[in-house]
């Protein structure tokens, strides 16, 4: 069966889970057309992403003229459908967090991809994220494109569901995927009760190649790693304060912040203010192999997030048999078990974060390895990529 995938930006360092899902569907026998708004010129550090870019068709790459021509062709070829889609785009744009002209651009993007999908023979369009890509998919369907579905990850969709018109997107869709039971419950809040059966849980999958490495013993060194974009919602500023509290007690610790982002300057300034240069280092952007090496070199992975869906890095750490220290939010407690596969603590609580850091550092490597093995078994049972892709395939088969 031929289907299309639509993503705002693809490939992307933080979207490797989408690549894994596409490849798993191809192993199921699907022919997947990759469509993205942007991403053709981004720096890529992963060879698999480079290969994916060569397979991806980019909506905005040919500029405004190509977009305008696509709109004109669609308006002339399907005037009735075009006017209905235009009316919906205007209606959304007048009650959205983004200005009306952007929603007219989304309509133009939909006009561009409809003939591409027809050329490919796509019988279904699946978008990732309930933001602009889902809107483009919805408008494409109104223009005569195939039925659509979309995956909601959170937390952005849960922060402004009315402004994103989530209920409308769900109503017009064939089905909607949530990546956790928590995510499904949040979609139930905004979807009409009649649409609840459309919302299904399909977990993000772990790539077997990521964890198919020799088992490495947990080091005795007091090294921890935090993997993620350096931004407000990941909580790294509080993590720096927690490390400061640990160091003040004379407990050895070294934290690696693996990633980069808009708050790097502020985090570096706080590290300097707290005189923690010898205890905290920042890697900047690194590829998948480097992320794996950082995790394997650490006793555990810590993620003090305030807002999440269900973080892929938590799954990856568990797949590498590393305990996880993270917060009681969103879908995380569905995977991480406190005292069994790691530690859970209240989001935003520096004292509790410092306490679980101390507990992890005080644990013997043997105790941590027991936790790591339990985490490995749990994540493989719940997040095997081919198993999860098979769930998605069953939904596609029903709707196509």
Phi/psi of residue 178, each to 5°?
A: -110, 150
Query: What letter does residue 363 receive in the DSSP assignment?
Result: S
Between CA 10 and CA 159, with CA 388 as vertex, the angle to 5 degrees is 60
Domain with CATH 3.40.50.2000 in the chain: 2-205+384-399, 208-383
Fold for 208-383, please state it. Rossmann fold (3.40.50)
342 vs 336: CA distance, rounded Å: 7
Instruction: Give this prediction's pTM.
Output: 0.94
Q: How many other C-beta atoms lie within 10 A of the C-beta of residue 40?
A: 14
Q: What is the CATH number of domain 2-205+384-399?
A: 3.40.50.2000
Q: Which residues contact 6 (CB under 8 A, 6 or more apart)?
A: 35, 36, 113, 125, 126, 127, 128, 133, 136, 137
363 vs 366: CA distance, rounded Å: 8
| CA-based max dimension of the chain | 73
Kindly provide the residue ranges of all beta strands, DSSP E only, lying in 121-206, ordered along the sequence: 124-128, 147-152, 175-178, 199-201
pLDDT digit string (tens) for the chain, length 400 residues: 999 999 999 998 778 899 999 999 999 999 999 999 999 998 887 888 999 999 999 999 999 999 999 999 999 999 999 999 999 999 999 999 899 999 999 999 999 999 999 999 999 999 999 999 999 999 999 999 999 999 999 999 999 999 999 999 999 999 999 999 999 999 999 999 999 999 999 999 998 887 888 999 999 999 999 999 999 999 999 999 999 999 999 999 999 999 999 999 999 999 999 999 999 999 999 888 899 999 999 999 999 999 999 999 999 999 999 999 999 999 999 999 999 999 999 999 999 999 999 999 999 999 999 999 999 999 999 999 999 999 999 999 987 7
pLDDT at 21: 97
């Amino acid at each position: 069966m031929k289907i299309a995938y639509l993503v705002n930006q693809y490939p992307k360092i933080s979207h490797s889970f989408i690549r894994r899902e596409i490849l798993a569907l191809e192993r199921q026998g699907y022919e997947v057309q990759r469509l993205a708004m942007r991403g053709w010129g981004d720096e890529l550090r992963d060879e698999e992403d480079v290969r994916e870019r060569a397979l991806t068709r980019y909506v905005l790459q040919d500029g405004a003229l190509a977009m305008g021509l696509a709109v004109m062709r669609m308006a002339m070829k399907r005037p009735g459908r075009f006017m209905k889609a235009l009316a919906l785009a205007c209606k959304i744009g007048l009650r959205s967090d983004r200005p009306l002209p952007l929603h007219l651009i989304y309509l133009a993007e939909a006009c561009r991809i409809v003939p591409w999908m027809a050329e490919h023979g796509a019988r279904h369009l699946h978008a990732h994220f309930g933001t602009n890509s889902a809107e483009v998919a919805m408008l494409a369907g109104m223009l005569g494109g195939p039925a659509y579905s979309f995956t909601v990850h959170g937390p952005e969709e849960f922060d402004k569901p009315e402004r994103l018109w989530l209920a409308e997107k769900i109503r017009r869709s064939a089905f909607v995927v949530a990546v956790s039971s928590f995510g499904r419950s949040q979609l139930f809040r905004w979807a009409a009760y009649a649409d609840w059966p459309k919302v299904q849980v399909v977990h993000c999958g772990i790539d077997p190649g990521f964890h198919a490495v020799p088992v490495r013993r947990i080091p005795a060194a007091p090294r921890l790693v935090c993997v993620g974009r350096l931004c407000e919602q990941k909580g790294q500023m509080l993590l720096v304060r927690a490390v400061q509290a640990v160091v003040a007690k004379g407990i050895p610790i070294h934290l690696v912040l693996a990633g980069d982002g808009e708050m790097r300057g502020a985090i570096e300034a706080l590290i300097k203010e707290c005189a923690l240069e010898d205890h905290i280092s920042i890697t900047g952007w690194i590829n998948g192999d480097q992320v794996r090496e950082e995790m394997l070199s650490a006793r555990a992975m810590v993620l003090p997030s305030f807002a999440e869906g269900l973080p892929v890095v938590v799954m990856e750490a568990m797949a590498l048999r590393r305990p996880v220290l993270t917060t009681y939010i969103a879908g995380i407690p569905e995977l991480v078990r406190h005292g069994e596969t790691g530690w859970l603590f209240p989001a935003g609580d520096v004292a509790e974060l410092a306490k679980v850091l101390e507990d992890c550092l005080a644990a013997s490597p043997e105790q941590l390895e027991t936790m790591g093995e339990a985490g490995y078994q749990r994540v493989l049972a719940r997040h095997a990529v081919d198993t999860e892709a098979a769930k998605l395939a069953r939904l596609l088969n029903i709707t196509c």
